[in-house]
Structure 1
Amino acid sequence: MTAPLPRRIIKETERLVAEPVHGISATVHDDNLRYFDVRIDGPSQSPYEGGIFKLELFLPEEYPMAPPKVRFVTKIYHPNIDKLGRICLDTLKDNWSPALQIRTVLLSIQALLSSPNPDDPLANDVAQRWKEDEPAAIQTAREWTRMHAR
């Protein structure tokens, strides 16, 4: 028997449905209300434009005192996202605050797609290429988006 869902999670889930964020959808699993299938549209004017990226989001028992666990399921060429889909984002680690919500996290990830940060990499090879030849890295990101995010 699982513990009842905290009221905060119920309210956040209801708000995600009632007030969807442009370019983001999060669908809760029927069998586990702490687990979400997330879809983020690649932001316009970014190398990910036109792509549809699937992510998994899981709220641990400690949430909101601990950040949600989020990872990309769709392969992506990005200096802050590794081959396993893990995301290097300060709000998911050291800068997490219980004041943040699921929608804030998803908006932060969407913003990360608009502005990759090769100075705080998770995928060192991608970050290195981004620094040495940004146009080529952006071109690779576009190709990966075409191949994996359609």
Structure 2
Amino acid sequence: MFAASSACWAIHSRKHTDLHELNKNPVEGFSAGLIDDNDLYRWEVLIIGPPDTLYEGGVFKAHLTFPKDYPLRPPKMKFITEIWHPNVDKNGDVCISILHEPGEDKYGYEKPEERWLPIHTVETIMISVISMLADPNGDSPANVDAAKEWREDRNGEFKRKVARCVRKSQETAFE
């Protein structure tokens, strides 16, 4: 019983430490907080579209949902604000290596060190997501249609859809 409660305390403490660090030393490009003050397992993040990208000026809201055994397993991230991106599926779920379960990739696409490791924090996740916005991975898309447009018509239809998402994100950012 003591080992289980110690493990729960360590997990609770890690999320609390991550949140405290982000509030004490904010990182440019995003902010994070609890959705409900009584639930450390569900966070809301606001991501500012990175400068010099198609997403510049956007304010994208997302939720991070932590598993009970965090940091041994990664949280799930889902955009609440509509976003058109090759590595975000049409439901808003983010698909990047850092959020994939630790260990070997059964498809052989990712190296274990590219996947989730317990040393990652909310800050490293958010930096990876901001990097993803700036430089999509078209080789491993979660949204095949967005990836196809990004490869074949980046400055046409893809750019128009992203611009629409940016405008919509600005209109709904603080609702």
Please indicate, yes or no, whether the TM-score normalized by the shorter chain is above 0.5.
Answer: yes
State how 1:128-143 maps to structure 2 within 5 Å: 128-136=148-156, 137-143=158-164
State how 1:1-150 maps to structure 2 within 5 Å: 4=9, 6-28=12-34, 29-94=36-101, 95-136=115-156, 137-150=158-171
Alpha-carbon distance in structure 1 between the residues aligned to 2:169 and 2:121: 28
Q: Is the 8 A contact 1:39 1:52 kept in 2?
A: yes
Between Structure 1 and Structure 2, how many residues are aligned? 149
Alpha-carbon distance in structure 2 between the residues aligned to 1:108 and 1:100: 11
Alpha-carbon distance in structure 1 between the residues aligned to 2:147 and 2:37: 38
Residues 86-127 of structure 1, C-alpha deviations (whole Å, 9 max, x = no match): 111000004000011111101111111111122210000111
Q: CA deviation at 1:140?
A: 2.1
TM-score normalised per structure 2: 0.79
Q: Is the 8 A contact 2:12 2:40 kept in 1?
A: no
Alpha-carbon distance in structure 2 between the residues aligned to 1:132 and 1:26: 35
**Which secondary structure does the structure 1 equivalent of 2:56 belong to?**
coil
Q: Is the 8 A contact 1:75 1:149 kept in 2?
A: no
Q: Is the 8 A contact 1:34 1:60 kept in 2?
A: yes
Alpha-carbon distance in structure 2 between the residues aligned to 1:23 and 1:148: 15
TM-score normalised per structure 1: 0.92
Identity of aligned residues (%): 35
Q: Is the 8 A contact 1:47 1:139 kept in 2?
A: no
- In structure 1, list runs of 5 or more residues that go unmatched: none
Partner AA of 1:59 in structure 2 = F
Residues 26-80 of structure 1, C-alpha deviations (whole Å, 9 max, x = no match): 0123021221110000001111111100000111101001001111000001111
Q: Runs (4+) of structure 1 moved beyond 4 Å?
A: none
